[in-house]
Amino acid sequence: MALQRGDAMYAVRPVVLLGGLVAVYCLVPVRPEFSIPAALTVLAASIVLFVVVLVRQERRIVRATRPLMAAVEAIVILVSVFLVSFSLVYVGLSESDAGSFTEAVDKLDAVYLSVTVLTTTGFGDIAAVSAPARVAVTAHMLVNVTLLAVGVRMVTRSAQQALTRRQDARRQETGS
């Protein structure tokens, strides 16, 4: 499969979005007053954002000239939104209660923890101690299984449908 004009955008868009997400994450102040309702609000907003991004990406895949590349782009974007969202919750919980985890969690540690939970690596060096932190980590694990599985399935299904439509169109053009 040869590269086509415009293919670079499939790589550039997620990198730019990830850069923007990281910039927002780094610049958003997290105060010690971060509370359980604030964490729940961040989680709810994150899930809404995830669903909105998923629906938009699914539409892009269906219309894309390169549906498989658009699907990979969508997965990168969705995972990035997911990781940044839970990282913000983890650092917020740590700021509000230093005993939330086995050690204080700053923004870098929160990203590390989000990645280890997402990948089910579970090194155990940072673990949830307080009830709110355990709820957040448990929610992260459950959301991993559901949203990411649904998200990946929707994205791959959209790519398969787009490829099938394209193949059917080619067959009709050639008369076979």
Q: Per residue in 46-92, pLDDT tens? A: 888 888 888 888 888 888 888 888 888 888 888 888 888 899 999 98
Q: Which two tokens stand for residue 105?
A: 């969690």
Give the pLDDT score at 3. 60
Is residue 176 very low, low, confident or very high in pLDDT (cuts 50, 70, 90)? low
pLDDT digits (tens, 9 = 90+) for 105-159: 999 999 999 999 988 887 889 999 998 899 889 888 888 888 778 877 888 888 8
Q: What is the mean pLDDT of residues 88-106?
A: 91
Phi, psi of 110 (to 5 degrees): -65, -40
Q: Where are the alpha helices (DSSP H) in 28-148?
A: 36-63, 67-96, 107-118, 131-143
For the chain, the domains span: 33-174
CATH code of domain 33-174: 1.10.287.70
**Coil, strand or helix: which one is 166?**
helix
Give the pLDDT score at 104. 92
**Backbone angle region of 109, left / alpha / beta, with phi > 0 → left and psi within -120 to 50 → alpha:** alpha
Give the pLDDT score at 87. 93
Residue 18: name the closest of 73, 64, 62, 71 by CA: 73
Classify each residue of 99-113 as buried b or exposed e, where b means 16 or more C-beta atoms within 10 Å of its C-beta: ebbeeebebebbbbb
**Coil, strand or helix: which one is 128?**
strand
Residue 127: name the closest of 147, 142, 112 by CA: 112
